[in-house]
Structure 1
Amino acid sequence: MEIGYIKKREIVEEMKESYLDYAMSVIIARALPDVRDGLKPVHRRILYVMWEDGLRHNAKFRKSATVVGSCLGRYHPHGDIAVYDAMARMAQDFSLRYPLIDGQGNWGSTEDSQAAMRYCLVGDTSVLTNKGLIPIEKISHKKEGTINFQILSYQGKQIKASKFFNSGKHKIIEIMTEQGYKLKGSYNHPVLCWGLNDFGFPTLKWKLLKDISTDDYVILNRNFPLFNRKELNLKAFHPKNPKYKEVKLPEIMNSDLAFLLGALVAEGSFHQKQILFNNQDSEFYKRIKNIIKSQFAGVKLYERQIKSNCWELSLYHQKAVNFLENIGLNNSVSGKKEIPFTILRSKKELIRQFLTGLFEGDGCVIIHKDKRHNGQSIAIAYDSKSLKLIEQLKTLLLNFGVVTSLPYRDKRNGCYKLLVSGRENIQIFQKEIDFFSGRKKAVLAQISTINPNRMSKTDYIPFLNEYLRSNYKDSFIHCNGEQRNNFDRYNKLQKNYRQLKKILKPQDQKLIDWIIKNNFFFNKIKTVKKLNQKETVYSIKVESKCHSFIANGFINHNTEARLSKTAEEMLFDIEKETVDWTDNYDATRQEPMVLPAKLPQLLLNGSMGIAVGMATNIPPHHLGELVDGITYLIEHPQAATEELCQFIKGPDFPTGGFIYDRQTIIQAYSAGKGPIVSRAKTEIVEKKASLGERQASLGERQAGQFQILITEMTYGTNKAALVEKIADLVKEKKIEGIKDIRDESDKEGVRVVIDLKNDAFAQKILNRLFKLTDLQKTFHLNMLAIVDGIQPQILSLKAVLEHYIKHRQNVVRRRAQFELTQAKERAHILEGLAKALDHIDAVINTIKKSSTREEAHKNLVKKFKLTDRQTTAILEMRLQTLAGLEQKKIKDELKEKKKLIEGLEDLLKSPRKILTLIKKELQEIKEKYSDERRTKVIANPIGQFKEEELVPEEECIIILTQGGYVKRVKPQIYRAQKRGGRGIVGITPREEDMVGHFLTASSHDFILFFTDQGRVFRTKAFEIFEASRTSRGQAIMNILQIGPEEKITAIVPLKTKKSEIKFLLMVTKNGTIKKTAVEEFEQVRRSGLIAIKLDKGDELKWAKPSSGQDEIILVTNLGQSIRFKEKDIRPMGRGAAGVRGIRLKKDDKIVGMDMVIANSKQPTANSKNLLIITENGFGKKTELKHYRIQKRGGSGIKTAKITNKTGKIVAGRVLEEESEDLIAISQKGQVIRMKLKDIRAAGRTTQGVKIMKLTKDDRVASVACI
């Protein structure tokens, strides 16, 4: 060695070598996964440590810090945070498709990071248990030990605590609330807090002590008590000194003894090995005197009068004094007094007696004159010079539901003063504890005279008032900016509960119910102190998923872990010499260089890592698809990546969503890198209004009718950050039309709700969200992995699978060789045993004649031609083996081993059989673990695929109201009824908004919208929002760019496929008709086109597609009709005005236009008829032969008898052979569906029959035949 020798080197060369060493260390030993098992070294070491420690999927959970510590100590000499973060990722079901670690506790979510691994509290922290209020350091005297008691979770459930941990010395943070509740623990200890999430919704939050500030509110438990229910045996505390005079001592804690202890802690003192007690209240003094005599039978007291009205007693019998000291009565000055530990571990009723005695001694009732509140206010005070006693008392009272004030020091006497204030708080004290003396009880009873509506200054629910008033405009909650009612005090909240229940949305109703049920005390942080000295800290293992427990009134928690079933598949057969091993960092242990890995882990769960000058980014995939792809590759070794992609369709993210562009995905897999575009799962739905919203919307337009729901996130997206981003975009006006956003996610899954304003275009907003947020993101695939344990390479999909297959071949071969060796060794022994059993008498005689074991061994080898191992086995053979059944077992086992050996040798000789075994094992894994694919694959790229490919082609009904609301519904929701039925509600429009248009179309059809001003607009049927039967629909202005005074007067469906449609026929209110080629409507701008030139005062009212060979029938409001040939109208351009179709009388107008289709098949009865419907619900069918063909422009002929009974005609339809049913809608939203065959045929000049019963002032508005 050249120690102390300085060698000159070129700095450039030194830098090169050092950098290269560093880079290779990071690449190989840290950042990149091995292509064989898909793991980085840290992940491999964590899994192997857990395997070594027996943490199988069915074992008990173990604390995360223990696993991390074991990994650091044995194999991974790096920082604990890095190991814990790697461990946490393997437990997160939103990071890994098939998690490798089964975790309990807070392992993170799509919006929060995992909790810290080590949560610890200082020794004097009082933990609430079923054995009492115990300082955490007193739970066990071991460094790590098994315990068995119940703790209280934050939900008020009793949960088993099974382990105790002494975590050593750490830096400490102390937090204190405004009411003086304290907690001290390690920097990464989490407590439950209350705050607003990114949606402004009040919610629970776990926060580490190091992250807590004076702006935070912590949650304190006062609603769920937990006390010891068993008698506390005191025999162990009896003094053993035989010299003590015989005095009877209590054997169990009882109410009198507890009361005595309370009085002695308050008013007692020690003096020269005596306990002194004095008090001016003679009743209280006599009570204590009698208790001492009854509890310590045989004791003598010394008494003296120290003042005219004050007596003092002295207990000097040392057996009684020592006993009281043994059960926790502190022999110290008043400044160091504390609550006896036996009291803290006693039953509730005994603690109650202690507190009564304690408050009777040093407590009092204070009455303040207060003109604002009925002339007075009341508080209970307790004084003590011992701060520890005060802090113990605060925690103990909280377990009774009593909240106390921040202690302050009285300068006059140096005592700390603790107050109980607030009407409800004092009433709890009065009910649960109370005073002893009648005088103090009487004063306390005056609490009943205090106004119950007074609001506490300290006991309130933060953020609740503000949240309700910002989200509801109901007059009960918020009236013209003035606060009418209060909801953030428990008494007010309970008083207003019934009325709130009628107004609130379901998620807000759940919030209120949860708050009232739990009755937590929300307290703001007053101070956060980082203490200079380290302290020993402790923790416990809780057998629940949330791992929460109550200590000092605060709610705390931790995490634990064990291997998942899938992780065990990675480690199976590791003990069979299937992989190579290497020394750990200090050469004290051996660790596997790679795991056997039955699972194709690299692709199954993916990997992310940044090395030096390179990075890997591999997405997770579906197990079933990977197995199918590997199987295919084994059977077709020459298959290209594109062939494998027929099985492996793309990434399968644990968070779901969509991925796009199959061709790009194949290209990325072929090259080993490339972009894959993904989107979150979103849906535009119609909002269901709450009762409060419905009441608030009466008489005004209802806002926020539609919502965007986000139910699956893109991979790796932080949900909270996403919501915050959306909120920022709304504030910056980069996205308009969003009314509200909130997170309704729960254990069932993700649900982010975006409420839209009434005039918002939902699809447009969603497209903006895709563009500006992580609702759409690109996963940059880069399949970089370590090959042959040393070489980083970018690999194609096929190459990754080939390396996996090669690794499994090696593992299976080595496993078979190991099992073959084991089988041969066992068969060799069995052959020797079998030979010995066949010559058992000779073997026994040989052994008997031998003088020593060594001689017997030598003689057996020589005489029976046995090996040393066979001979040793024979000599160790038990006599029971000589039984016939045992001999048969040996021979059967030998046959079995020989068969196994034959099979293993055959397997090792045949690479094909090894591959077949690999396929079989993969199929077994697929059957055990495979599930449904979560991420849907869309073959086309975003922006290039045709949207109708995603929409099924089906019949639908398009409804447009006169108020401009449109919707698409399925025709099946309207059931057929008998003629004359009342119908069902099909839409719920406003009184001023009646149904205007109603037609059937295919979901893939183009829908042309014609306006009264002669313009035309176009959209796909599926682009019209699908809504419920009773929904009003979406504002047409959100779909089409029509003017504010413009109205839709005609709707025409146009088939996207080739059809016989060549022209569009348009009819105006004044009887003008125009024919225009359909090609002129193929390129309709979003701003619309001119469809017809209108004369002044005229309006476009009707439009129909035609073949150019059809006939036209026009029906007027006053009962006229005309039938003429389409050939009578010459085609005109879009800008033309048209020609006269019918000559109208004064006050008459067109109400119906229809076609008699030329060259149709043999018509049925329906196709020969003209259907006439009148406004009062009358209808008839008349054969078309009664309508002769005329020249266009004439006055026409009579088509119906118009009377006051029938009302004017509202619709005329030519019945086609496909038409089976009639659907009619009234102006008030009534709908009837009936068979057309049920409508009676009648003459041309008749009035028809009643087909629809209408309510008063209602009229038929529109009809459709389907």
Structure 2
Amino acid sequence: MAEVIQTLPLEDVIGDRFGRYSKYIIQERALPDVRDGLKPVQRRILYSMFSSGNTYDKNFRKSAKTVGDVIGHLHPHGDSSVYDAMVRLSQDWKLRHLLVEMHGNNGSIDNDPPAAMRYTEAKLSQLSEQLLRDLNKGTVDFVPNYDDTQMEPMVLPARLPNLLINGSTGISAGYATDIPPHNLAEVITATLKLIDNPDMTVKQLMKYIKGPDFPTGGIIQGIDGIQKAYETGKGKVIVRAKAETETLRNGRSQIVIAEIPYEVNKGSLVKKIDELRADKKVEGIVEVRDETDRSGLRVAIELKKDVNATSILNYLYKNTDLQVAYNFNMVAISEGRPKLMGIKQIIDCYLNHQIEVVSRRTRYDLKHAEERMHIVEGLMKALSILDEVIALIRESKNKRDAKENLVATYDFTDAQAEAIVMLQLYRLTNTDIVALQEEHDALANKIKDLQYILEDHNALLDVIKNELSEIKKQFKDARLSTIEAEIAEIKIDKEVLVPSEVVMVSVTREGYIKRTSLRSFNASGKEEIGLKVDDYVLKYMEVNTQDTALVFTNKGRYLSIPVHKLPDIKWKDLGQHISQLAVIDEDEVIVDYDVVSAFDDHEAIITATRNGMIKMTTLSNYKTARHCKPLVAMKLKDDDVVISAMRTQITETEQLVTLLTHKGMSLTYPIAELPTTGIRTGGVKAINLKAEDHVVMVDLVGRQDTILIATQRGALKRISFKVLQEAKRAQRGITLLKELKKQPHRIVAAVVCREADVHYQLVSDEAVHDGQINKIHLSEQYTNGSFVVDTATFGEIKDLFISK
């Protein structure tokens, strides 16, 4: 051979070769044909089994023999690819109606590999006979195989719409397909209706085809997604497992999964659920057991006592493959090219294929009936002159001479003469003449019917309808998947995610926050809390890990922090600064915090500012999904800052709020004076301030309470509720401190005291001179405990000073 070297640009060569390769794998490998719903390898497997007589009414045959036949004659690829395709045709969790029956281990829903092909046996299923029926009657075109040694069908006659019934999945170059399986009876019913009414809409078709019908059952949600997919070829639905709750003898309950979503690996699913239990991502699961046996799929999830099974199941739906999204992408090969098709287009393509198949079969049957009719007429003519024919044959030299004499003497055709000379002696009886006459009449009627089918299109459609109805009657079964119109919203209770545990949460003035177990708190003692120098505890509370902490800052913002997300730190350790949990300004400090179990409209937060603004907002407004991020709690003007945030019951309208200012003014009024506003508002005027005055304290006050006041001169004053006067909001108020000409007292700190024997703590700041007080803390606010430098009871109160 002469060597020919071509010089070509690399990009042209690669582009041309990849184009050829892409065309091949699109048309000849990964995508199914819209007419029979099969990929080439599947079609070759079925054809090879059919042509070798490996049918449903025969004995099983070794899979290795079938694989060898397919590779040797039709599909020159690896044996594993052929065997894998053959095994899939026999898996009842992959196909809605099996096309191959297999003896032996053919894999499992846990994705276990099947036994080697030398161990398994297979044959065609009864339904696959309907795909191959009439194959030998010229119903489809045949093409040469890969080595031109035999012919193979381009497509199967497919007497049922297999593409929709069994679905398909595949990936090729630039194309992919995902067609779900459907119920056979529903698909055939819709096809019959479409034959009668070709103008049916997709919505009308959906009266008969409710939606996909997966072999693994499950619940399909989202009828709008189904309709969109049926109209355009693309759509999305949610498929979730079917689950029931059972009660056990020990008082516990368990969730039992009986059906899982299509193409979900059960083994991986069980493993994932057990990992969630082991990692404590979900609380309440005791054990996960795979109890699947030959009677059916069963996964048991045993729960702890008094656990909400619905919440656990919702969490598993959201975080495991107990619920998955199924995306329709109905691409199939139509007229030699890939097309995205809706359900009506798929059925139309199938019907056009059936019209051609039945037409070709009818012509084939008509041709053979006419040929047989011709022979029968010749035999009848020969029997009518039997003696002459016998004499003529006896006088002939040989068979060929006898045939020529019959044609020349009695005007028989070659075919008739061949049939006469091959006639057996027993056929020369009177009874055979009657049989020939009966056969002649039957053939005449058959030819008439076949001609009518070919001449009348409606008669041809009736044939298709009758055959489809017979298949439906023989193979129909009930739906396995349930259709639900709407996609259910998944609501997960936080009790499922977070273990219920009572802990201590503390916050300091410097902004250090921590969560501490009761064990650490009780072991250390409340006075041994870890603090920085000059820092003090703002508040500590006994709360639940399922609660949410609301932390308010002086800049009118708040942080919503789930308690379980707070750092778990020992009581003696310092804690974590709030800036490590959320991004806040350098000069932003914590004013107060509270812990909420439920955000409802029965409670509210009252916030007040230094410049005399106040607002009340219901607790439900503070609920947010943006945890650990600063959010607006109160809109502030100019250089104003929040000095107080307190929680109250809205229904208790008799509660009183009291304000004290720097210059000694006091105003008290019911909370009914405060309008309920939104979270981003600036509030209303709380008190009418004098020039250069500002609010020092805002708090709720009861009729049995007293107020402890500290001044800049280090003086303490205790005021009874009787001194206060109820008034209206935004008034000037009454004077609590006598105005002195020299060094007048100014209030720097005040607190409402709700018990007579409560301890107090006085705190000074480095910026304040010795002997001055800028903060008062009372232990009553901290569950009858306090961390103090100096303490005293009210009975011992005098003009006390505390140095730095």
Residue-by-residue CA offset, 1:922-948 (whole Å, 9 max, x unaligned): 110011111000001112222299xxx
- 2:373 matched to 1:830? no
Asked if residue 745 in structure 1 is aligned to residue 292 in structure 2, the reply is: yes
1:684 deviation in Å? Answer: 1.9
Contact persistence 2:185–2:476 (CA under 8 A): yes
Aligned partners of 1:872 and 1:855: how far apart in 2? 11
Deviations 1:490-539 (A, max 9, x none): xxxxxxxxxxxxxxxxxxxxxxxxxxxxxxxxxxxxxxxxxxxxxxxxxx
Structure 1 distance, partners of 2:455, 2:112, is 51
SS at match of 1:749: coil
How far, CA to CA, are the matches of 2:652 and 2:86 in structure 1?
Answer: 72
Check the 8 A contact 1:88/1:114 in 2, yes or no: no
Match of 2:121 in 1: 560
Code of the aligned partner of 1:879: L
> Match of 1:663?
224
Given that residues 369 and 447 in structure 2 are in contact (C-alpha distance below 8 angstroms), is that contact kept between their aligned partners in structure 1? yes
Does the aligned pair in 1 maintain the 2:177–2:329 contact within 8 Å?
yes
Over 3 Å counting, the alpha-carbon distance change for 1:1089 and 1:56 in structure 2 is same
Letter aligned with residue 16 of structure 1: G
2:454 corresponds, among 908, 933, 938, to: 908
Query: How far apart are residue 858 of structure 1 and its match?
Result: 2.3
Give unmatched runs, 5+ long, in structure 1: 120-557, 690-701, 946-1084, 1092-1132, 1138-1266
Contact 1:674 1:781 in 2 (8 A): yes
Shift of 1:589: 1.1
- 1:875 corresponds in structure 2 to 421
Q: Does 1:810 align with 2:371?
A: no
Q: Which residue of 930, 938, 956 corresponds with 2:476?
A: 930
SS in 2 for 1:721: helix
**Could you report, residue by residue, the CA deviation over 1:201-241 in whole angstroms, capped at 9, with x for unpaired residues?**
xxxxxxxxxxxxxxxxxxxxxxxxxxxxxxxxxxxxxxxxx
Q: Which residue of 1 aligns with 2:55?
A: 56
1:728 aligns with 2:275: yes
**Corresponding position of 1:1261:** none
Q: 1: CA distance between counterparts of 2:271 and 2:397?
A: 90
Contact 1:1090 1:1135 in 2 (8 A): no
Structure 2 equivalent of residue 582 of structure 1: 143
2:337 is aligned to: 791
| Equivalent pairs, count | 503
Could you tell me which amino acid in structure 2 is paired with residue 853 of structure 1? K
Quote the offset at 1:118 in angstroms.
4.0
Say if 1:782 and 1:852 are closer, same or farther in 2 by CA, change over 3 A. Answer: same
Closer, same or farther in 2 for the Cα pair 1:853/1:759, shift >3 Å? Answer: closer
8 Å Cα contact 1:32/1:616 also seen in 2: yes
Q: Distance in 1 between matches of 2:651 and 2:208?
A: 53
Q: SS state of the match for residue 85, structure 1?
A: helix
Residue type at the aligned position of 1:60: N
For the residues of structure 2 that align with 1:96 and 1:620, how far apart are their CA atoms? 7
Residue identity opposite 1:4 in structure 2: E
Shift of 1:847: 2.4
**One-letter code aligned to 1:757:** K
8 Å contact 2:314–2:490 — kept in the other structure? no
Which residue is 1:677 aligned to? 238
Q: Which residue of 2 aligns with 1:10?
A: 9
Q: Cα deviations across residues 406-439 of structure 1 (Å, max 9, x unaligned)?
A: xxxxxxxxxxxxxxxxxxxxxxxxxxxxxxxxxx
Match of 2:70 in 1: 71
Q: Does 1:710 align with 2:257?
A: yes
1:811 match: secondary structure: helix
Secondary structure at the residue paired with 2:469? helix
Q: Which runs of 5+ in 2 are unaligned?
A: 492-596, 604-649, 655-804
Match of 2:206 among 645, 649, 658: 645
1:258-277 map, 5 Å: none
Deviation at 1:1135, TM superposition (A): 5.7
Residue 734 of structure 1: how far off its partner (Å): 2.0
Counterpart contact for 2:373–2:440, Cα < 8 Å: yes
1:151-193 deviations in Å (ceiling 9; x for gaps)? xxxxxxxxxxxxxxxxxxxxxxxxxxxxxxxxxxxxxxxxxxx
- Report deviation, 1:1089: 7.1
Looking at structure 2, the residues matched to 591 and 927 of structure 1 have their Cα atoms a distance apart, in angstroms, of 31
Q: Over residues 47-70 of structure 1, what are the superposed CA-to-partner deviations in whole Å (9 max), with x where a residue is unaligned? A: 111112211112111111121111
Q: Residue 1086 and residue 806 in structure 1: after superposition, are their counterparts in 2 closer, same or farther (change >3 A)?
A: farther
CA distance in 2 between counterparts of 1:851 and 1:12 reads: 75
Contact 1:102 / 1:564 at 8 angstroms: preserved in 2? yes
Aligned to 1:920: 466
Partner SS, residue 97 of structure 1? coil
Q: Is 2:336 the partner of 1:775?
A: no
Aligned residue number for residue 762 of structure 1: 309
Q: Which amino acid aligns with 1:747?
A: R
Matched, 1:842 2:388: yes
User: Which residue is 1:27 aligned to?
Assistant: 26
SS in 1 for 2:465: helix
Corresponding residue number in structure 1 for 2:184: 623
The AA in structure 1 aligned to 2:360 is R
Q: Report matched runs for 1:341-740 at 5 Å.
A: 558-689=119-250, 705-740=252-287
What amino acid sits opposite 2:308 in the alignment? F
Percent of paired sites with the same residue: 42
The DSSP-based 3-state class of the residue aligned with 2:122 is: strand
Cα drift, residue 677 of structure 1: 1.0
Counterparts in 2 of 1:46-445, with a 5 A limit? 46-118=45-117
CA distance in 1, matches of 2:153, 2:399: 42
**Cα displacement string for residues 718-765 of structure 1 (whole angstroms, at most 9, x for unaligned residues):** 111001111112223221111111011111111100011113221111
CA distance in 1 between partners of 2:53 and 2:598 (Å)? 67
- What code does the residue aligned with 1:711 have? A
User: 1:714 is paired with a residue of what secondary structure?
Assistant: coil
Q: Which runs of 4+ in 1 moved over 4 A?
A: 1085-1091, 1133-1137
C-alpha distance in structure 1 between counterparts of 2:104 and 2:449, whole Å:
47
The AA in structure 1 aligned to 2:314 is N
Work out the CA distance in 1 between the residues paired with 2:361 and 2:126: 21
Return the alpha-carbon distance in structure 2 between the equivalents of residues 104 and 761 of structure 1: 44
Cα distance in 1 between the residues matched to 2:228 and 2:455 = 38
- Give yes or no for contact 2:318–2:490 (8 Å, CA) kept in 1: no
For 1:858 and 1:566, how far apart are their aligned partners in 2?
Answer: 50
2: CA distance, partners of 1:38 / 1:3: 46
Deviation of the 1:914 alpha carbon: 1.2
> For residue 625 of structure 2, what is the aligned residue in structure 1?
none
Per-residue deviation, 1:1134: 6.3
For 2:202 and 2:179, the matched residues in 1 are separated by: 16
| Alignment of structure 1 residues 1096-1175 onto 2, 5 Å | none
Q: Distance in 2 between matches of 1:632 and 1:579?
A: 26
Residue 12 of structure 1 aligns to which amino acid in structure 2?
E
Superposed CA RMSD in Å reads 1.9
* Alpha-carbon distance in 2 for matches of 1:628, 1:835: 50
Paired residue type of 1:68: V
Secondary structure of the residue aligned to 2:116 is coil
How far off its partner does 1:855 sit?
3.3
Quote the residue 2:549 is aligned against: none
Q: What is the letter of the counterpart of residue 342 of structure 2?
A: S
Asked whether the 8 Å contact 2:164–2:181 carries over to 1, the reply is yes
Structure 1 counterpart SS, 2:94: coil
Contact 1:770–1:776, Cα closer than 8 Å, also in 2: yes
Q: In 1, Cα distance between the equivalents of 2:484 and 2:344? A: 22
CA distance in 1 between partners of 2:15 and 2:600 (Å)? 68
> What is the identity, as a one-letter code, of the residue corresponding to 1:855?
D
Helix, strand or coil: the match of 2:102?
strand
After TM superposition, give the deviation of residue 108 of structure 1 in Å: 1.2
**CA-CA distance at 1:668 after TM superposition:** 1.1
Alpha-carbon spacing, 1:3–1:632, altered in 2? closer, same or farther (3 Å)? farther
- SS for the counterpart of 1:735 is coil
CA distance in 2, matches of 1:3, 1:773: 64
Q: Distance in 1 between matches of 2:92 and 2:651?
A: 60
